[in-house]
Homo-oligomer: A and B are copies of this chain.
């Protein structure tokens, strides 16, 4: 289980259009909405909530699963209750052309919950869950630093997780737009909103890093 998505750097699909596979209509989206909130709902109950027949619900449910739009069903676990009270983010600078090795090592670290390749100052961000702060230290100095692919790390602790949505869907945005922005003007220019631009910074990829993903 290696790559869980293929986000191109800048080539985002048009809103509403899906590249290959199943064409997702409004009812598909409704199904996804229900399922991300209650992954254990029966297909019969799902059909009722979405407003389609049971047979149809079974067909669409299977189609979404087969197509990969639904990747899996999972239980969200309280890691504190489970004994992993410490969460940290480790930003990693990876030596070029050693991504393959880095990924292989990641797979051997069960305390890593999430890893993403990013633009900006660092190359990757990994999120780890451990039982105590010492384990973070061990993780970074003992395990990560011993990987030749790792050039440098920077660690921050997560003090609180304010929000985690099961999975964001385009329909959420539409709903919000209707609620809080009755008349939405099209995006034209960055400075159009009268916001002091000095407040924010966009950080692009370092030189020569655009090709990194091709390593494996």
Q: A38-B72, A39-B40, A133-B10 are in contact. Are A203 and B161 (CB under 8 A)?
A: no
Task: Return the contact of A199 from the options B119, B150, B173 (Cβ within 8 A).
Answer: B150
B213–A172 touching, CB < 8 Å = no
A11 to B82, CA, bound (A): 15
A100-119 CB contact bits vs B (8 Å, 1 = yes)?
Answer: 00010011111111111111
A129-163 CB contact bits vs B (8 Å, 1 = yes)?
Answer: 11111110110111011100011111111111111
Task: Return the contact of A80 from the options B6, B132, B158 (Cβ within 8 A).
Answer: B6
B73–A39 touching, CB < 8 Å = yes
Q: Which residues of B contact A17 (CB under 8 A)?
A: 83
Chain A interface helix/strand/loop/mixed: mixed
Q: Does A67 contact B (CB under 8 A)?
A: yes
Q: Which residues of B contact A128 (CB under 8 A)?
A: 168
B197–A12 touching, CB < 8 Å = no
18 contacts between A and B (CB under 8 A): A4-B164, A7-B80, A7-B85, A7-B160, A15-B131, A39-B40, A69-B81, A110-B172, A111-B168, A113-B167, A117-B159, A117-B160, A117-B161, A119-B159, A128-B168, A141-B191, A141-B197, A145-B196
